[in-house]
Structure 1
Amino acid sequence: MTTPFDAAAAAAGLFSLTFQAFQGCVGAFNFFNTAAHIGADGSLFSSKLQWEQYRLVEWGNKAGLGEIGRPNSKLNWQIAYSLLQQFESLMTSAEELKTRYRLEVTEEAIEESERLSVAKPPQKGVGKLIARLRPEIYATTGRVIQANNNTMKRLRWATMGIGQANRIIRDISDLNQKLHQLLDSIDQERRDYVDALLLRDIISRSSSAIDVEQIKEILEPSPSPTNKSIQAAASLKQIRLVIGVDKRDDEVGTAPTEKTKGSMPLIRKLKYKKLLPYMTETPMRESGIEFARYDCKPVLVEWKVAEGPMWQQLFNQVRNLAVLLTSEVGKTFRSLPCIGYLPWEEKERYALVYDIPDASTEDSKAHWRMKSLYDLLSEQPILSLSRRYQIATGMAEVILQLHTAGWLHKSFRSDNIIFLSPTGSTTADFLNRSPYLVGYGYARPDTPDAAIFTQLPDTVLRTDLYRHPQARGIPRQRYQKRFDMYAFGCLLVELALWKRLTDIQSTYRSIDINKVIADAAASNAEIELPSLLELPSREQYVDELKHYAGEAFVEAIKLSLLMETKVEEGQDASLDTQQAVLEKLRQCKC
């Protein structure tokens, strides 16, 4: 009869065997030579190996196989041991590699001195960024190798084709995924969250289109919505690097490869003679955002003034912005489909021209109308909490995509979130349609060189309420990601209370902000408008927000308004906060 002591001893023995197999797998990555005869693809193979090594070590930490971990009691250790045995055999057995992949491989013993040096972090590519952002991975590998008293073997082969390399990586990835699925659902979600954050950070810091292409390849096998979103952000960053728009000092120009050429959208330069008023009897304003017709088709036009010497300076910026918004991945910005840019030098204007998605499927003679979220906040007395959550989450995804790709929006507010619907639609009809972010006229890359394009937006005074105090007026600081996030926090407060920001500030300050702004505009006086920076510390206001929108929503507001600036090597590293904001909003349910 098996006693509890016997069962415990058996479990301890199984854990010990699993721990040894795990260490063998971790060490094997450092002795699994990247093939030297597959040309440029060798770097990709190496990067994928380093990503899979990271995944394995992080899984081991969750499983309790780390240095100070405790065995995860929820894990099926029998299956884990079996999978790790397969893992180790795949990476250390010359015979298995010959059988499975037809590789000519030999096992070669190495000297102790060389053995202790192989755990050095990679010095280039995606592996270098993983080592920089997760140095503990290579520290763990080094300890595993140094603690191994057996003579280590490494694999050598004469040649490897890209097809064989891809099969090996796919099999390693499949084993990693099976190990991942042994974790409980909460641990799996946490691992996915951390991986997504790391990948976004790597994309943001990548300095060449080749590095970004490797990240896209790493993500390719997974169909998950999160990975598709990250892959879209990677494509946007890659486009920016290939077109060479305002590179950072550490970024390098990259000639388009066959793969990157396929992802580059065609740039369409439009002709102003084909742009006509939307209604024959109503002339175009040629400012702001308005409906028009291009080639007789309904379009939405977003104008940007470029007077005098600014005309030529802004040419590349507008052109490159059109490239991003024209691309398929530009849809992740929740922007309307951009059909091209229109330079009109005589009028000292540029225009981004957008298609209207439903215009071809609904009555072609229907006249379209546009309402901003700012309009709807006063027109619609109430809106369901679930719909407000949807709008907030969608816009959080937009800002995360923009910042991952290396762009700043600079005009994030309820005026620039629009809804389109045919004439005759009710206010509720508008709110049931997809929200689109516009106002890209002042968007620019997040680089020091691009700061020369900074302009004080030509907007009404009340829009300063959405600007961080340090981003207002002439002595303002250079625009940063945290300023976009502050504006997003203001938007979240509007959605929480379903009121315009001017009305919210009037309530908080016990003064009529609308009247103050109107009087200042009438007299052309300079005034200092209030901010929401102190709101998170005002318990009464926080409790009110929690009452209307819930605790998770309020946490997202706090993180957005008070986002810390972490500067490293000249970059505003804030994606961890933005990912946390998005996760908080996804927790909101009703």
Structure 2
Amino acid sequence: MDIAANTIQTLGFAGQIFTGCLNGFQAWQTASDLSRDAIELQIKLEWTRSRLDMWGTLWGLEQQDHLKDSRFRHFGMMALNHLVYINYCLEEFKSMDDIFPTLGDAGMYASTPAFSLARLSQSGGVTPDEMDALRYKLEHLQTNAGAKERAKWALQEGRALKMVETVKAMVEDLYTQFPPPASSEPNPIIKNSYLISDSLDNLDAVSESSTADTTLAALCAVKAERIRTGLEKRTDKLKSHDPYMIAGQLTQEREVTEGRWLGSFRQDNVSYRVPVLIEYKRMPRLVMATSSLDIRIQNVARLLSMKNKPAELRTLNCIGVMVARNNETVYRFVHELKAKNVFTLTHLLKTPTRENVAGSHRDKWALDQKFALAKQLTRAVLYLHLAGWLHKGIRSNNIVFCAGDESDVDLSEPYIVGFEYSRVDLARLETETVDQTDDTDDAFRHPDTQGPPTERAEFQRIFDVYSLGMVLLDIGSKRSVGNLRVKFAAQNATRGGWAAAAFRKWLLETAIDSDVTGLAARMGSVYVEVVKACLSGKFTERYKNDVSVGLYVNVLRRLQQCNV
């Protein structure tokens, strides 16, 4: 019993040692004025750090959640040894043969997960004295050493590369031997400090790196351009084209929904036309080209037109924006289509009626396609936020699918449109207030974004997540969100009728768990909990109120468990 108790007590320090590891990476992150080779090493090391950070987050090391898992209780000392040694590698460059092998010797110990784990486990020959010595070193880290000088010296000796490869192998060992609960491929991008930062130098370094993860590089490029568009002196630094400089012939052919048309566009000096989607934004006044509204629309179009934006954003390529200024100002966003027709999610999921018994309806689509759609949309919102943008209008009629015919629609290939109110995740003044929308559109919006403009909260990421939850509900429920709104308003007629906050409470406490939506029977209990997490917004506290981490762990990662 004493041995078991001591083991559990020791494992309880895993959270502290894990935090020490993350702190150990920071010395390398803060080094500046390095050569290109050193910068590439920093990028590689940060990718490894973010993977380790995500591993610890998913295990809940800082909250002691790992102690609830039988694997960790029985074999956790091996993981603990890994964390201690990773810290050792990060903080010590000189050989210390009296305590542990040199970095050169240590490289071979991580050649295979089984061998490296055995070498570092108690049964593999690491004595308690060695462990005590390593823990002593952990408590006396050299935090004031010059990172720049150390990095240059280590590069010259070739030891930095060995250290990076050793640490990388150790982290991959942890994933192999201690895969986080609810296993699916963890995404270290969410924890990557380069992407989280607002440093143009760091973002550009990653976006231009040939060794960086391609999705991370693309997201960094989008975020860097977002930052550039906010700089006062920026004309010669922007890497996207001016969307107002659109030269060609635009033809409108058919209205799809209000303010949204199908058409074709032929660029000057090109003989062929391409199918396009045209989205209108009308302002009932003259908007000057120097106004913040006009600049915001231009910046949104710039980002939507970037050629190297990640495909996971699920946005169409914006060819440009045409502007007509008179007594009113009309903006026309021109998006290139993958096919000659588009269908909104609202149209594809419409509830059967007496007039539409044989048409498209909510039970037409296979369950695996619905799950694929939910994952794609969640990932798109997550990546949009990571790039520093808020959508502000996520709802089913702003989700479109490109296909020649309705029978050719693939639900796993959605595109998000309706960016007319989108803005950077910064000052509220950069966007105008949503004036009036359709009743059904209102049902997708967070209660705090409704009511008189003076009473509305400043838009936050969590409000986009709420709207995402409503879309997920719309995908899985036997009733559309519009139908649910009408049903609630009728039931609540004697208590004031429609009220956004009361509607959310009714969904969370009654409708989602009942036959009103039939969500559990149609989509499963995991999907139900995902929808509730989005609507309640109570999933960020354990992640230091980081909405992106919470969205990944409690929504996207759980959706990845939903399979047919």
TM-score by shorter chain over 0.5: yes
DSSP 3-state at the match of 2:309: helix
Q: Give how far 1:146 is off.
A: 3.6
Amino acid at match of 1:350: Y
Q: Which residue of 1 aligns with 2:472?
A: 492
CA distance in 2, matches of 1:53, 1:561: 32
Aligned counterpart in structure 2 of residue 91 of structure 1, from 90, 93, 111: 93
Aligned counterpart in structure 2 of residue 464 of structure 1, from 424, 439, 442: 442
Q: Which residue of 2 aligns with 1:316?
A: 295
Identity %: 20
Q: Which residue of 1 aligns with 2:260?
A: 289
Query: Does residue 386 of structure 2 align to residue 404 of structure 1?
Result: yes
Query: Contact between 1:37 and 1:159, CA under 8 Å: does it hold in 2?
Result: no
Query: Contact between 1:52 and 1:176, CA under 8 Å: does it hold in 2?
Result: no
Q: Give how far 1:431 is off.
A: 4.8
CA distance in 1, matches of 2:301, 2:249: 18
Query: Contact between 1:337 and 1:357, CA under 8 Å: does it hold in 2?
Result: no
Q: Give how far 1:265 is off.
A: 3.2
Matches within 5 A, 1:187-206: 189=183, 192=186, 195-199=188-192, 202=193, 205-206=196-197
Q: Give how far 1:589 is off.
A: 1.2
DSSP 3-state at the match of 1:587: coil
Describe the shift of the 1:405–1:203 C-alpha distance in structure 2 as closer, same or farther (beyond 3 A): farther
Q: Which residue of 2 aligns with 1:416?
A: 398
Q: Which residue of 2 aligns with 1:576?
A: 549
Q: Give CA deviations for 1:203-262 in whole Å, capped at 9, x if unaligned.
A: 6752222233466689x7576xxxx5444433322221122269xxxxxx99998xxx7x
CA distance in 2, matches of 1:356, 1:92: 58
Query: Does residue 426 of structure 2 align to residue 435 of structure 1?
Result: no
Query: Contact between 1:87 and 1:175, CA under 8 Å: does it hold in 2?
Result: no
Query: Does residue 354 of structure 2 align to residue 374 of structure 1?
Result: no
Query: Contact between 1:299 and 1:355, CA under 8 Å: does it hold in 2?
Result: yes
Describe the shift of the 1:309–1:173 C-alpha distance in structure 2 as closer, same or farther (beyond 3 A): farther
Query: Does residue 224 of structure 2 align to residue 238 of structure 1?
Result: yes
Aligned counterpart in structure 2 of residue 298 of structure 1, from 263, 275, 280: 275
Q: Give how far 1:415 is off.
A: 0.8
Q: Give CA deviations for 1:486-540 in whole Å, capped at 9, x if unaligned.
A: 2111111111114321212334455699xxxxxxxxxxxx975663333222277
Query: Contact between 1:407 and 1:445, CA under 8 Å: does it hold in 2?
Result: yes
Aligned counterpart in structure 2 of residue 503 of structure 1, from 479, 483, 488: 483
Q: Which residue of 1 aligns with 2:451?
A: 473
Query: Contact between 1:496 and 1:549, CA under 8 Å: does it hold in 2?
Result: yes
Query: Contact between 2:379 and 2:556, CA under 8 Å: does it hold in 1?
Result: yes
Q: Give how far 1:182 is off.
A: 4.3
Describe the shift of the 1:388–1:432 C-alpha distance in structure 2 as closer, same or farther (beyond 3 A): closer
Q: Give how far 1:89 is off.
A: 12
Query: Contact between 1:41 and 1:162, CA under 8 Å: does it hold in 2?
Result: no
Amino acid at match of 2:228: V
Describe the shift of the 1:277–1:304 C-alpha distance in structure 2 as closer, same or farther (beyond 3 A): same
Query: Contact between 1:400 and 1:578, CA under 8 Å: does it hold in 2?
Result: yes
Q: Which residue of 2 aligns with 1:351?
A: 332
The alignment yields a C-alpha RMSD, in angstroms, of: 5.3
Query: Contact between 2:378 and 2:556, CA under 8 Å: does it hold in 1?
Result: yes
Q: Which residue of 1 aligns with 2:174?
A: 180
Q: Give how far 1:297 is off.
A: 2.7
Describe the shift of the 1:91–1:444 C-alpha distance in structure 2 as closer, same or farther (beyond 3 A): same
Query: Contact between 2:252 and 2:264, CA under 8 Å: does it hold in 1?
Result: yes
> TM-score of the superposition, structure 2-length normalised?
0.68
Query: Contact between 1:490 and 1:561, CA under 8 Å: does it hold in 2?
Result: yes
Q: Give how far 1:147 is off.
A: 5.9
Matches within 5 A, 1:243-262: 243-244=229-230
Query: Contact between 2:391 and 2:423, CA under 8 Å: does it hold in 1?
Result: yes
Q: Give how far 1:158 is off.
A: 7.1
Query: Contact between 1:289 and 1:302, CA under 8 Å: does it hold in 2?
Result: yes
Query: Contact between 1:343 and 1:349, CA under 8 Å: does it hold in 2?
Result: yes
Describe the shift of the 1:63–1:168 C-alpha distance in structure 2 as closer, same or farther (beyond 3 A): farther
Q: Give how far 1:395 is off.
A: 0.8
Q: Which residue of 1 aligns with 2:536?
A: 562
Q: Give how far 1:553 is off.
A: 0.7
Amino acid at match of 1:376: L
Describe the shift of the 1:495–1:86 C-alpha distance in structure 2 as closer, same or farther (beyond 3 A): same
Amino acid at match of 1:532: R
Q: Give CA deviations for 1:259-302 in whole Å, capped at 9, x if unaligned.
A: xx7xx333343447722233xxx7x8997111122213321111
DSSP 3-state at the match of 1:402: helix
Note the residue ranges of structure 1 that are not aligned, 5 or more in a row: 1-7, 101-140, 247-252, 359-367, 514-525
Q: Give CA deviations for 1:108-131 in whole Å, capped at 9, x if unaligned.
A: xxxxxxxxxxxxxxxxxxxxxxxx
Matches within 5 A, 1:214-229: 221=211, 228-229=214-215
Amino acid at match of 1:198: K
Q: Which residue of 2 aligns with 1:342?
A: 322
DSSP 3-state at the match of 1:349: strand
Aligned counterpart in structure 2 of residue 332 of structure 1, from 312, 315, 318: 312
CA distance in 2, matches of 1:99, 1:183: 22
Describe the shift of the 1:575–1:204 C-alpha distance in structure 2 as closer, same or farther (beyond 3 A): farther
Query: Contact between 1:468 and 1:531, CA under 8 Å: does it hold in 2?
Result: no
DSSP 3-state at the match of 1:532: helix
CA distance in 1, matches of 2:40, 2:104: 22
CA distance in 1, matches of 2:482, 2:414: 22
Describe the shift of the 1:348–1:392 C-alpha distance in structure 2 as closer, same or farther (beyond 3 A): same
Query: Contact between 1:421 and 1:433, CA under 8 Å: does it hold in 2?
Result: no
Query: Contact between 2:398 and 2:418, CA under 8 Å: does it hold in 1?
Result: yes
Aligned length: 481
Query: Contact between 1:241 and 1:254, CA under 8 Å: does it hold in 2?
Result: no
CA distance in 2, matches of 1:76, 1:63: 17
Q: Give how far 1:56 is off.
A: 6.6
Q: Give how far 1:461 is off.
A: 3.2
Describe the shift of the 1:93–1:509 C-alpha distance in structure 2 as closer, same or farther (beyond 3 A): same
Amino acid at match of 1:336: L
Note the residue ranges of structure 2 that are not aligned, 5 or more in a row: 107-133, 267-272, 351-358
